[in-house]
Each structure stands twice: as structure tokens, then as C-alpha cells.
Amino acid sequence: MSYAIKEVFYTVQGEGHHAGTPALFVRFAGCNLWSGRDEHRERDAERNGAECPRWCDTDFADGDKWEHADGPKGLAAYIEACHPGHGEDLPLVVFTGGEPLLQLDRALIVELRDAFPRALFAVETNGTIEPRVPVGIRAGLDWVCVSPKLPVDRLALTSGHELKVVVPAYDPREYEAIADGFEHRFISAEAETSSVGQSVIVADNLRRAAAFVMENPAWRLTLQSHKIIGVP
């Protein structure tokens, strides 16, 4: 059993329903829609029929391999060591990427439950892969946030806790067919990306996102507050 991990870091959740909550982020390397390299942006956008490779600012390429015989146990110990406080007090663990559902499995979740017994286990996914982990409080994943990057008919996950659509790259109205399958609907403003790991908030996109939620009050605006306050 092996995993590829780009980074593990302690911060606050910057977006969505749990914005402002202290969280340990586990970023898996790799994605099924983009290689993570600047030179492949247009190629992968065309190949996969997705807009996200053109503007994604996340550095998820490569990463450290975990191929120990005790893969889940060893990785869980490493993740636990990345949290500077007491694990029993941590409120939130977020599995992200790249696309975390390419790798996240029940074995790792089971090991991490011992390290963080009170934490809500959340995943941020593009919705194209069915989880190999049960969804439900303390059953595996407690919280599922889908930020769709493909049309509805190409999604494997059409329900969950949060639906987060990035504008103007994607039109939230195209996801109305699945929106009732989520407890919360969010609109996020696309940032302007100069290269991997480098992006800035765009005022025009924020205003466009705000205008959409005012016209469609079933949706809520979420800001990338981590970029505003300068934390990972």
C-alpha cells in the first residue's frame, strides 16, 4: 500500500462552511485533470474538457512516497507529528489535493481516528471519483465538499455536504440539477494565477460572485480568507 503526499500543514480552513476553524490539511499529490505543471495547462484542459488546469494555483505535483509495509500506520504517524498541539483537541482534518480520492482509503482513516479522535474528517474533491471510504459521521469521512470541474453527467459524486462552484470559470446554474443533494451551496471567485503556487484575488470576480448570490439566494458566497490573512 502506498501514498504520495505533497504536504501536511496546520492552518485555519479558509473557505466554506468551516471557514475559520483550525485544521490540519493533508495534501495528496496528483490529480486526474491536470499534471500540476505550468507547461501542461492548456494540454490538460483540452484533453480533459476542464477549465481548472488553466487557472489552478495549487502545488500538488510530485510529493513524498509512502511505501512502507505499514503504509497507513506510518503515514498516520507522520501526519500526527505535523500537528503542533494535542491531537485530541484538533477539530478538523481536511484531505485535499490535487484529487485526494485517487489515494484516500479506509485504512488511513482508521489509523488517523486514533490520533485525532474528536476531529471532523473532511475531503475536498472535484467529484469525479467515488470514495473508497464510507461517508457518515464517524463511519469514515464526516464531510464531503465537491467543487465540480466537469459537467454533471461526468461526475461520480452528486451529493454531499458542500457544493462549491468557482466562477466565472464554471456556471453554477449548470449544477442546479444536483444542488439539492448538498446541505450547503457556495460560490467561490476564481483567482488570477501567474504560476503554480502564485495567485491573487480578483476584485471583478468577487463582485461577479457576489452579484450571483444576490440574484440566487439559495447560494452563499465564500471567500478565500486564507489568502487574505496570509496563511497556507
Domain chopping of the chain, boundaries: 3-229
CB 164 within 8 A of CB 180: no
CB 131 within 8 A of CB 99: no
CATH class entry, domain 3-229: alpha beta
Q: What is the dihedral of CA 206, 207, 212, 215, to 10 degrees?
A: 150
Return the higher-pLDDT residue of 20 and 66: 20
- Span 155-212, pLDDT tens digits: 999 999 999 999 999 999 999 999 999 999 999 999 988 888 888 889 999 999 999 9
- Span 83-141, pLDDT tens digits: 999 888 999 999 999 999 999 999 999 999 999 999 999 999 999 999 999 898 777 99
Question: Taking the mean position of all CA atoms in its chain, how far away is CA 74?
Answer: 23
Residue 69 predicted with pLDDT over 60: no
163 vs 48: CA distance, rounded Å: 21
Catalytic residues: 25, 31, 52, 56-58, 124, 226
- Model pLDDT, residue 6: 95
- Model pLDDT, residue 139: 78
96 vs 26: CA distance, rounded Å: 6
- Kindly give the interhelix angle for 106-115 and 71-81, rounded to the nearest 10 degrees: 40
